[in-house]
Amino acid sequence: MTVVFERPSSGAEPVTLAWPAGHAAPVRPAIRFEAVSKIYPGRKGDAAVMALDSVTLDVAPGAVYGIIGRSGAGKSTLVRVVNGLEKPTGGRVRIDEVDVASLDAAGLRALRRRVGMIFQHFNLLSSRSAADNVALPLELAGVPRETIRTRVAELLDLVGLADKAGRYPAELSGGQKQRVGIARALATEPKVLLSDEATSALDPETTEQILALLERVNALTGVTVVLITHEMSVIKSICDRVAVLEAGRVIEEGPVYDVFAHPRQETTRRLVSSVNGATLPQDLVERLPPGQDGASRTVLRIVFTGVVAGEPILSRLSRSLDIEVNIMAGRIDEIGGAPFGNMVIAVPARDDIVSAVVNLVRANGLSIEVLGHVS
Amino acid sequence: MSPELINLVVAATGETLYMVAVAGLLGTLLGLPLGVFLATSQRGELFSAPLVNRVVGTVVNAARSTPFIILVVAIIPFTRLLAGTSIGTTAAIVPLTVAATPFIARIVETAIREVDQGLIEAAKAMGATPLQVVRKVLLPEALPGLTLGLTLTLVSLIGHSAMVGAVGGGGLGDLGIRFGYQRFMPDVMALVVVVLIVLVQAVQSAGEALARKVNKRIRRD
């Protein structure tokens, strides 16, 4: 059996990454979090809550930046300090070098016109049609009626809802509502688009469509997207970089590919395993008692990362060692244009074969670990 | 029933409609901003002023807990100041308005508090001023609730207007008491009650129809 993992043909270098990890940003960041902390004072005997704990991050202009964490990790607070909906109790947030906290009320409103926001529950006005919802930020900004009309038509066209202009939110599906939300957020031609769990209330297929739309908007307008989510699959499908948030702290940060391929923290590992197939099927796990006597097959996991994922490693294994290789589980994905995944295989349970397999796989630049045995 | 009596009922109906309409309008003009303030001035809200909020809330509660018939006589000097007299249909509008205003304020407050907080946040995130949030988001979104609330106010004003006969306010209630009860003319009493029922029914139905029309939250195919 031969399994070849083809690289996508069209220049699939992970060029979308903002810049290599550990290097300084080549351009000034669109958003810079400098040791941002937020403490909610305790009320009526409750202890104070530290929602953000010294968060330092740079978001490059034009990037799609993902922030992931479980609920209560501080994600919502982190996006809300960007447009001043929440005020940090410590540190600074700069947008295009401007300190958000230094702005007066009028300055903050001007800033908010350059920072669009979309929400989990869409937050559309039920009393306004789709077109009038999109028009709202323009009305608030005092844009002339004629200009509003043409701009709204363009925006609805961009999100594929030109034929739903007169519909009220109650008459639209979840995906359509979020499209209206996106059109509304883009109305004032913002530099930054904040996405607050924008796909969490949508089914997987609609989620894909909305993410594709965000990606297209990002490519088309160059708007910097900051999205928070609890789903790694969202990060995987459109983000360039990701920060993992836990208890208000950034516990891991880097290009999505690196974080996926080499998760350093347990939380990250768990989040990653939900999408990359690192979780074994339950029945396989049950058949894997460690060091079982009389086992006839040894189970190993090969992790494919980066360029080497194109190697036909399985056929090479079976040919050069003359053994049978069973595929027990596996998943290959593409992250930022580079293949990534892992595969659980079983080979005859003989020490010499297993060590030969391990050596061969490692010689090909892949990592491998022994998981256990099956009979 | 004699034509004279019929004419009396028609005139009294006109007086009731006049008092209710004017008091309802004035009460709305005063109660709407008051209600918006009550709904948006607690700590951390759009026009955060917790202390003033508490004071206004207390005054509103005090006005609402005063029995209407007592309010009518208690504010006679105030009525005279505004209307030039304390007797008659126009003068009766003053206590009706004073009673309607806090009632409407609470109704407006409730309707506005029903608006999803997420919409306020979204509007702020778009760069709306607090006044824009009220005008473009809170009031339009609360409109179905406001419409039903104002309907309720008008119905209760129709009821209250029966009591202003005590200060010569006229109207249907006054007619019912003076002719139907004091002169023992059950046919007048019956007619007054029927007209009142029809009035209340008409106001209620119109209000509900209007509320349905402005409510876009319901899917209509």
Encode pLDDT of A71-99 as tens digits: 888 999 999 999 999 999 999 999 998 99
C-alpha count within 13 angstroms, C-beta hemisphere, residue A257: 23
Q: Is B132 in CB contact (< 8 Å) with chain A?
A: yes
B88 has a pLDDT exceeding 70: yes
Q: How close does chain B come to A109, measured CA to CA in Å?
A: 4
Q: Is B128 in CB contact (< 8 Å) with chain A?
A: yes
Say how far apart CA A349 and CA A292 lie, in whole Å: 11
Say how far apart CA A76 and CA A70 lie, in whole Å: 11
Q: Which of A328, A324, A322, A320 is nearest to A302 (CA)?
A: A328
B31: Cβ contacts below 8 Å, ≥ 6 apart: B100, B101, B102, B103, B104, B105, B107, B108
Q: How close does chain B come to A197, measured CA to CA in Å?
A: 13
Neighbours of B2 (CB within 10 A): 7
Task: Name the strand (E) or helix (H) holding A340.
Answer: strand A338-348
Q: Which of A127, A130, A149, A153 is nearest to A139 (CA)?
A: A149
Q: Which of A369, A229, A361 is nearest to A288 (CA)?
A: A369
Q: How close does chain B come to A329, measured CA to CA in Å?
A: 43
| Cα B73-B75-B81 angle, rounded to 5 deg | 125
Residue of B nearest to A81 (CA): B125
User: Which residues of chain B neighbour A188 with C-beta distances below 8 Å?
Assistant: 126-127
Residue of B122, B127, B136 lying closest to A113 (CB–CB): B127
Average pLDDT, integer, range B42-62: 94
Least confident segment among A133-137, A253-257, B139-143, B144-148: A253-257
CB atoms A136 and B121 under 8 Å: no
Q: Which of A225, A303, A208, A308 is nearest to A16 (CA)?
A: A225
Encode pLDDT of B163-199 as tens digits: 887 678 889 988 988 888 889 989 999 999 999 999 9
Q: Which of A319, A328, A329, A322 is nearest to A350 (CA)?
A: A322
Residue A252 phi/psi, 5° resolution? -160, 145
pLDDT of residue A336: 66
CB-neighbour burial class of residue B67 (10 A; exposed 0-12, middle 13-18, buried 19+): exposed
Say how far apart CA B174 and CA B190 lie, in whole Å: 13
- Provide the Cα torsion A318, A324, A330, A331; round to 10°: 40
Buried b (16+ CB within 10 A) or exposed e, A176-195: bbbbbbbbbbbbbebbbbbb
Q: Which of residues 1-20 of A touch B (CB under 8 A)?
A: none
What chain A holds in terms of domains, given with CATH numbers, is 2-266 (3.40.50.300), 282-374 (3.30.70.260)
pLDDT of residue A10: 41
Three-state helix/strand/coil letters over chain B: CCHHHHHHHHHHHHHHHHHHHHHHHHHHHHHHHHHHHHHHCCCCCCCCCHHHHHHHHHHHHHHHHCCHHHHHHHCHHHHHHHHCCCCCHHHHHHHHHHHHHHHHHHHHHHHHHCCCHHHHHHHHHCCCCHHHHHHHHHHHHHHHHHHHHHHHHHHHHHHHHHHHHHHCCCCHHHHHHHHHHHCCCHHHHHHHHHHHHHHHHHHHHHHHHHHHHHCCCCCCC
Residue of B116, B121, B141 lying closest to A85 (CB–CB): B121
Q: Is B129 in CB contact (< 8 Å) with chain A?
A: yes
pLDDT of residue B199: 95
CB atoms A125 and B140 under 8 Å: yes
pLDDT of residue A314: 81
Residue of A nearest to B216 (CA): A127
Residue of A123, A170, A188 lying closest to B217 (CB–CB): A170
| Beta strands at A224-229 and A64-68: parallel, antiparallel or unpaired | parallel
Given CATH 3.30.360.10, say whether it is the number of domain B3-214.
no
Encode pLDDT of A38-73 as tens digits: 999 877 778 888 899 999 999 999 999 999 998 888
CB atoms B126 and A113 under 8 Å: yes
pLDDT of residue A22: 47
pLDDT of residue A12: 38
Say how far apart CA A276 and CA A285 lie, in whole Å: 17
CB atoms A141 and B127 under 8 Å: yes
CB pairs under 8 A between A and B: 71
pLDDT of residue A146: 95
Contact A374, A299 (CB under 8 A): yes
Question: Could you tell me the CA-to-CA distances from A84 to A30, A285, A341, B96 in Å, in that order?
Answer: 15, 48, 39, 45
Beta pairing partners, A64: A225
Residue of A116, A126, A188 lying closest to B216 (CB–CB): A126
Could you tell me the two tokens for A264? 């350093």
pLDDT of residue A372: 75
A173: Cβ contacts below 8 Å, ≥ 6 apart: A206
Residue of B116, B143, B216 lying closest to A168 (CB–CB): B216
Most A CBs within 10 A among B45, B112, B116, B126, hence the mutation to make, goes to B126
Could you tell me the two tokens for B184? 């023992």
Positions of chain A with pLDDT lower than 50, given as ranges: 1-25, 292
Q: Which of residues 114-173 of A touch B (CB under 8 A)?
A: 115-117, 119, 121, 123, 125-128, 136-137, 139-141, 168-171
Q: How close does chain A come to B42, measured CA to CA in Å?
A: 16
